[in-house]
Structure 1
Amino acid sequence: MKTIVKPYMIIIAVSAALTTVSCEQWIETDFPSNQLPTELVFEDEQTAEAALAGLYANLWNNSLISGGSDGMGLLLGLYTDDTASVSSPGSNSIIDLYYNQQISSNLIVSNVWTNAYQHIYAANSIIEGVKNSKTLSQSARNRITGETLFIRSLLYFYLQQIYGEIPYTDTTDYQINSKLSKLSADDLLSRIDADLEQAVNLLPSAYRNAERIYVNKSIANLLWAKLKILRKQWPEAENLLQLVLQSSDYAFQNDITKVFQKTGTHIIWQLKPKNSGDATKEAALYNFSGIPTTYMLNVNLVNSFSANDLRKQNYIATVTSQGQTNYRAVKYKNLAGANTSEDSVIFRLEEVYLLYAEVLIQQNKVAEAIPYINRTRQRAGLSALSTGLNPTSAKEELKQEKRKEFFSEHGIRFFDLKRWGQLDQLLSVKANWKSYHRQWPLPQKELLLNPNLNPQNEGY
């Protein structure tokens, strides 16, 4: 594994951003006047909070959940059948994901890995700093550790789904990290499971910000439930999802025009734009007028909606220019300088409803599951499904509902198809799709730096 930071310090800049340094830049320097060594950072609650704030800021800036060009919404939307690209093939970067022609030296394949492990390393630095602190209050220790454990678990969870077998580290020891081997899926998911259990036990139930931009117990319970679903532990997942559903913090949003407004009580977790008035990254990314030059919605997705589905009217814009008709995602409406009402939504209650329905169907509780599918259907102006559906029909309705509700949101389509063993249905819409594309190649430069990461993934 290549990406590391200095083993004995966390850099806290005036902007409260964490600075990550690759091993080629490992040099000794005096402390700049606006930076603190690790042992001082975590002896003061304000600077400890600044370290954690830096980690959150980097999730917004360049992470799998950023919502921008380096986030799963776009990358996995292109990779599956949510999003189309109009760029020319052959650049060995993002366009290759759309054409399912990525190779181990692909820039995006490498950057996603590097950025995620930088954030994981920063998280390990925070956890170690809090553990070694002699002055932080117990409540601050618990919360900061819980939030950081959750973020690290989130990154590992997504990395495992994208790359398959990957290394796990909970240390900042460079000698250990430079020689890590991959873990099997079962081993890695077991470690994430233990980390999430600890995070849930440490985190408070209450939000510490009205905009719900910091992690609380319900957010951790939701991710933990997703992990249980991935491992087919249906009763455990059901119990965790019930905890979220029963929380008085959340209420279903019945107005489809307000689903992506930041004040909604259906919002579970969201990331705030860097500056006041900034657009969400999603609003900027999918915006175009005239002939698109970057990304647009896949016609296959657009055609999956019935004409009377309010999501087609509210979440999709038709753009006609020079005799061409294309489509763009407009879940987020506000562009730069005019955004006062939208943050970037990571988790929302609708996902809990549909995950809960899936868990119930898997346990042959179809009649109990259908009302949870009907909430988003009926909000979209569609008729309610019958509670008398058989399990096979109920699963199919659930799958169609999830695609229509969550397109362009954090790779949900990819993760669903993979979990259901249905990625190969992309063969009908993606000319270059192969079964081994269920995971990306391990970055070539990482294999060269650390031979313990071999062998390369199948097909690459």
Structure 2
Amino acid sequence: MKNIQIQFLKYILKMKKTLLTKIIPLALLAILFQACTDELDQVNPNALTLDTFWQNSGDLNAGLNTVYASLRDENVLGILWDYTRTDIAVPSSQRQNATGNPIYEQTFDLSTDQVQDRWDACFRGIFRANQVIDAYNNLESTFTTEEAQQTGTYILAQARALRGYFYYVLHSSYNQGSVPVFDTVPVEFEEFQISFSSAAEVKAFLIADLQFGMENLPATYNAWQEDAGTGNLGRVTGGFCEALIAKTYMNENDFGNAEPILKNLIDNYDYALVDDLAKCFTGIDEFNSESIFEINFSYDANPLGLEEQNLSQRIASFLNDGNRVHFTSWLTLKYRNEKPDELDPANLVNRNIYLANGDLDSIQENVLRMYSLRMANSVSSVDDRDTKMYGVEMAEYGRATTAAPHARQFPNFIKKFTSWNTNNGGIGEDESPDRDQRSDINIPIVRLAEVYLLYAECMLEKGDLTEALRYINRIRKRSHLNLLGNASVGEYSTATSTYMNDIDLDPSNGEEAVTIANLMEHLRFTEKPLELSLEDQRPIDLRRWGVWKEQLTYISQFEYDAYHFKNNAMGKSPTRWRNFIMPAGEEPSYDDPNLPPYAFRLPNNIQVNGNRRTKEPFLKDHLLGSQNFNEDLHSYLPVPQDEINSNLNWDQ
């Protein structure tokens, strides 16, 4: 009966998480309703039904908006949890020496919340997309004009492209790629009870959706504006579909199929690296030339405040004020050790010098930055004298009563996806009642820098060192870093760029010339994590390279010391306690004789060599996770318990 069908449809859009408690009662109701009289079968003429809603392209667009809304569920990207099972991040609880985080400790199973939540979020998007696709197929014959046909095609292509993306996330996250494939909206009970498709079948299905999107959508954001008019900024693009196809091949180390697609994206679209990495993450230049696809957010509130229906995102607040996630100590030191290019004028700054009482003494002009611009745009460090955060110098950040300071459990703040470049006196993310935990900063899913690094990997796989260096160096040059390789084949002038044919970029350690093998290592464990931290689906990379357990074991062996930072050399704010990390046994030092000394110390009752506290336990990362990690159990997420309970054929 029609009413029961509608109830099933509404029910599945609320997702499969409640199937266990509802599916049996609904089945019993269906049996009882078979004996209903004609009077009970009547449809309320004032009620919205399947037949009365899907009438025109306006209804299709309304349905399509719900598919885009599904992208705003933060579990799809998993920024706040998925990277804590890799070498990129740790949860805040670890910094407070707490245990029991199943994702971080690699003890998650089919009942873990995040395992269920991502599954639900993706299938919610899929079922909404299928609603639009089914309705389009029913209405297609009514689109008689060329304009109506084009509008309908755009809607269908977006729905299929987004469905392809949700299946991409599921295929790359769960059950070795094997998940159930729905190409239409299920209505009857048995239509929900489908067996899982093989990983190869899921891959073919999602690529077919993305191929259709690539062939029928404007290629870029600019093309959307030109082809379909203003007001379409933020819609999924043909370029995103092509990039996702390339990534699907890369995820299986299929470099032969991925390479020409990546090169086409580089050569035949109007993408270009922006000049400042901050433009990709802070809201100052959204939908820019580097962006291939980003999730669009705004401050506008949904009066109901329901889950992904909110137009804003909470990630910025959770990274800054909530401190839900921190970069690993290993990665933090990677950022700190990157060297700004001394020949590049962009690395020259004017630096304030303070007296011991905190008053300004003088300004040093045109001195070399302490830390790289890539670090400055990605992570904070309490001693960074050259980059302000929320309008104040790093050591002062945290004086405002609403802002968490640099401290033992917060030695560094992740700056990506936050508005750290705003000038608000060090308050941090906006905490006014109308904006609390709400940000309008867009979140990129794919940008050109990732395409460059994927293409560089393809070049290394085929033995083309020169071409790989070309694209790695383009990314390094954007952040004004020293470049790799031989200047004679480089793109940039040696007058303003330093080339180093030394893979660790530090000749004092003994030169080791750049080769295919060590550049691949550098790409995997320097360029990708530093450029794409929290962006590039690090679990997929560690899995496809076969180094996940090895890398967790490697970083878990290191011990760190945490120093106090008595920052009266930078301002009047109080000492920041145990927030500057160093490898155990090493002491902070600076080579610039023009810099006044910093006061690094620790409690008087814990003194080693005058000021060092040894083996800070809160900074030893992934110790349990490295021990617990099992390739078969943890490289993919398992099928969630609710799916097993509700789908009688899940294992058929």
Amino acid at match of 2:444: V
Amino acid at match of 1:310: L
List alignment gaps of at least 5 residues for structure 1: 12-17, 66-71, 456-460
Give, in whole Å, the separation in 2 of the partners of 1:10 and 1:269.
Answer: 30
Quickly say closer, same or farther: Cα 1:30–1:415, change in 2 above 3 A. Answer: farther
Structure with bigger gyration radius:
2
Superimposed CA distance per residue, residues 239-296 of structure 1 (whole angstroms, 9 cap, x where no aligned partner): 22223222453221122332323152111211221434986433222013xxx66332
Quickly say closer, same or farther: Cα 1:105–1:370, change in 2 above 3 A. Answer: same
The one of 182, 189, 192 aligned to 1:178? 192
Q: How does 1:245-264 map to 2 (within 5 A)?
A: 245-260=266-281, 261-264=285-288
Quickly say closer, same or farther: Cα 1:32–1:283, change in 2 above 3 A. Answer: farther
Q: How does 1:23-422 map to 2 (within 5 A)?
A: 23=19, 24=22, 36-65=48-77, 72-87=78-93, 88-90=98-100, 95-133=101-139, 134-136=141-143, 137-163=148-174, 164=176, 165-174=178-187, 175-205=189-219, 206-208=223-225, 212-260=233-281, 261-276=285-300, 280-288=313-321, 294-305=324-335, 306-308=337-339, 309-318=372-381, 321=406, 326-334=411-419, 335-336=429-430, 337=435, 342-386=441-485, 389-399=514-524, 400-409=526-535, 412-422=537-547
- Equivalenced residue count is 430
Amino acid at match of 1:171: T
Alpha-carbon contact 1:7-1:173 (below 8 Å) kept: no
Superimposed CA distance per residue, residues 403-456 of structure 1 (whole angstroms, 9 cap, x where no aligned partner): 1111112x521121112222122233332322221112211221122242238x
Q: Report the 3-state secondary structure (helix = DSSP H, G, I; strand = E; otherwise coil) of the residue aligned with 1:329.
A: coil
Q: Which residue of 2 aligns with 1:458?
A: none
Amino acid at match of 1:333: T
TM-score by structure 1 length? 0.83
List alignment gaps of at least 5 residues for structure 2: 30-40, 302-310, 340-371, 383-404, 420-428, 487-512, 557-621
Q: Which residue of 2 aligns with 1:69?
A: none
Alpha-carbon contact 1:269-1:347 (below 8 Å) kept: yes
Give, in whole Å, the separation in 2 of the partners of 1:117 and 1:31.
Answer: 30
Superimposed CA distance per residue, residues 204-234 of structure 1 (whole angstroms, 9 cap, x where no aligned partner): 3322467841111111111011112234443
Quickly say closer, same or farther: Cα 1:358–1:321, change in 2 above 3 A. Answer: closer
TM-score by structure 2 length? 0.60
Alpha-carbon contact 1:267-1:349 (below 8 Å) kept: yes
Superimposed CA distance per residue, residues 39-70 of structure 1 (whole angstroms, 9 cap, x where no aligned partner): 444432222111101110121145513xxxxx
Moved more, 340-349 or 423-432: 340-349
Alpha-carbon contact 1:354-1:402 (below 8 Å) kept: yes
> Percent of counterpart pairs with the same letter?
24
Alpha-carbon contact 1:314-1:330 (below 8 Å) kept: yes
Quickly say closer, same or farther: Cα 1:293–1:215, change in 2 above 3 A. Answer: closer
1:155 Cα deviation from its structure 2 partner: 1.4
Quickly say closer, same or farther: Cα 1:285–1:293, change in 2 above 3 A. Answer: closer
Amino acid at match of 1:234: F
Quickly say closer, same or farther: Cα 1:318–1:358, change in 2 above 3 A. Answer: same
